[in-house]
Amino acid sequence: MKKLLWIVAVLFSLAVIHSCISKSNIDIEIPPQQKEIIVECFLTPGYPAALTLTESINLDDELDLWGLDNAKAYIITDSGAIQLNGIFSWDSARRVYVNYSSKDTIHNNHSFFTLDITNSQGIRLYASTNIVSQVEMQNINLERNAITVHYKTSNAGEQYFKLLASIYKSGKHKETKFGLYDQNDPVTDSCSLPWKEYKADADSVVVTLYHIQKDYYEYLLSVRNASSAYKDPFLTPEAIKSNINGGIGIFTYYTFDKRGFAL
């Protein structure tokens, strides 16, 4: 039980860093635990591969995430290997911090991708993913208490989606919310993000729809559910659904469509 709660704390902290919603320091009191390697690697057509590789460190009863330097990281495809180079940067398109990235952009003409990482201590981590089709938002309804998106994809493959909306006031970010959607049964072409009176404190909104892998959908859902249980002792903790062999996290490919609107 303690082990699971500790892992949830790690992933919840990483999620806060990636969302960049708050820049305040976060203190989490946890019992001493063994180190855990955390991997989040994202592939998107037209963008360089982005890898965040960290290790959880328990110091003075607080949780720290340390970036792992000097790792050898490659993405293996059906046409060769793509090297990921160490570089700490803020990826404004994805709104994430990364410490490894590819020189070239990712293409959608590969049949598979395999992530292969060996850290400076010789520990190997690996995972695999496939492509999903491009998603296009056809209509966006900015309702009073919800944002509803109608969309289309280019094929009838797996239909998992993440809908994210960020509101702004005078150019400053105010809040971000997202929803996860399994649209396979029944198959639909729309999703709605409930958000009560979001227009009251905003003058613009940016809406992004992601077509995601089932692995990523289950990973995000399990982290969200486990985070809720971590904060509520009456809820049963849920196992994190990771696809990383040798660590915890996600390696995934997604496509997206993004639009901005004045309110």
Quick one: pLDDT at residue 4?
A: 47
- Is domain 135-211+258-262 classified as CATH 2.60.40? yes
Q: Mapping DSSP to helix (H, G, I), strand (E, B) and coil, where does residue 34 land?
A: coil
Please, what sign has the CA dihedral across residues 21, 94, 52, 172?
negative
* Domain chopping of the chain, boundaries: 2-131+214-246, 135-211+258-262
Quick one: pLDDT at residue 11?
A: 57
Q: Return d(Cα 162, Cα 258) in angstroms, integer.
A: 12
Q: In 95-254, where do the E strands start and end?
A: 96-105, 113-118, 124-129, 135-142, 146-153, 160-169, 172-182, 190-194, 204-212, 248-253
Q: Return d(Cα 228, Cα 225) in angstroms, integer.
A: 5
Digits of tens for pLDDT over the chain (263 positions)?
A: 444 444 554 555 455 444 433 333 444 444 455 678 999 999 999 999 999 999 887 655 555 778 898 999 999 999 899 999 999 888 776 667 899 999 999 998 888 999 999 999 999 999 999 999 999 999 999 999 999 999 999 887 889 999 999 999 999 999 999 999 999 988 789 999 999 989 998 999 999 999 999 999 999 999 888 777 666 556 666 788 999 999 999 999 999 999 999 99
Residues 6+ away with beta carbon under 8 Å from 86? 69, 70, 71, 99, 100
Quick one: pLDDT at residue 234?
A: 60
Quick one: pLDDT at residue 20?
A: 39
Taking the model in full, what pTM does it have?
Answer: 0.83
Quick one: pLDDT at residue 235?
A: 60
Quick one: pLDDT at residue 244?
A: 97
| Contact present, 51 and 39 (Cβ < 8 Å) | yes
Quick one: pLDDT at residue 185?
A: 81
First vs last C-alpha separation in the chain: 46
- Here the tokens at position 170 are 């005078």
Q: Return d(Cα 224, Cα 217) in angstroms, integer.
A: 11
